[in-house]
Amino acid sequence: MVICLFEGIGVDLMLLDGWFWLWFLFLIFTCLCAGAVLMVNNRCRADRIHEKKRLKLERDIMAKKMSLSYAQKSWMLSAHILFIVAWFGGILCMFGLLITSLSANHNNELYVIYMNINLLDDVYVKYPALGALITGLLLSVLTNWGLTRYYWIIVKEVLTLGTIGFGIFYMNQWLDQVTAATSNGDFDTLQLSDIKHLLIGNLANLIALATMVILSYVKPWGRRKNAKKNRKK
């Protein structure tokens, strides 16, 4: 009946049969292409998931290798606290001697005071400051604290580096000038402003160290926003 209908409207059955097979082959080709695309997409997605798992596993392994055990962390923290105490104590003793030097009556007294200040600076300030910096960086890198995850840690790092830099480029220079003047017997030419520079600089170091101790105990401000997002990811 259908054939008669097509013949009635003048459609060539051979032509119709050719178009049918052409569309049929096109449909099969389209399905094969779509299937191939889906397979490639699924394979790529599986590869991405596998790569993410591999990277996460590598990060976890590296974190375990770089992390400190509880005992190691306790020893490192104890060393860090001891260095901070020695550093703070050395600067506090220097501050007391600097105040004493303001009332010195002759050159020999001033010379002895500044020899002791130099000794404190060499033994209880320089090396403890370096030890506190190294142990602090190790505690940040080898634990979950990180170097830039928390605001209070960033402030401590800035204060530590600023205090050490201020001591190297300014405090040492002022101390050498005053010590050289007292060793040469130039008590009369020694200016009071040189001693005041040392006194003010030493007081600034004390305030910075006291701030670092308070920040270590209080831990204010919490985690940085970017660090929170990265941790969620």
More confident residue, 80 or 19: 80
Q: What is the pTM of this model?
A: 0.68
pLDDT tops 60 at residue 64 = no
> What integer best gives the mean pLDDT of the chain?
79
What's the CA gap between 28 and 44, in Å, rounded? 24
Residue 101 has pLDDT above 50, yes or no: yes
Determine the Cα–Cα distance for residues 223 and 5; give it in Å rounded to an integer: 80
Q: Which residues contact 213 (CB under 8 A, 6 or more apart)?
A: 84, 88
- Rounded CA separation 82/132 (Å): 8
CB burial of 21-44 (b: ≥16 within 10 Å; e: otherwise) equals eeeeeeeeeeeeeeeeeeeeeeee
Q: Quick: pLDDT tens for 176-196.
A: 888 888 887 766 666 667 788
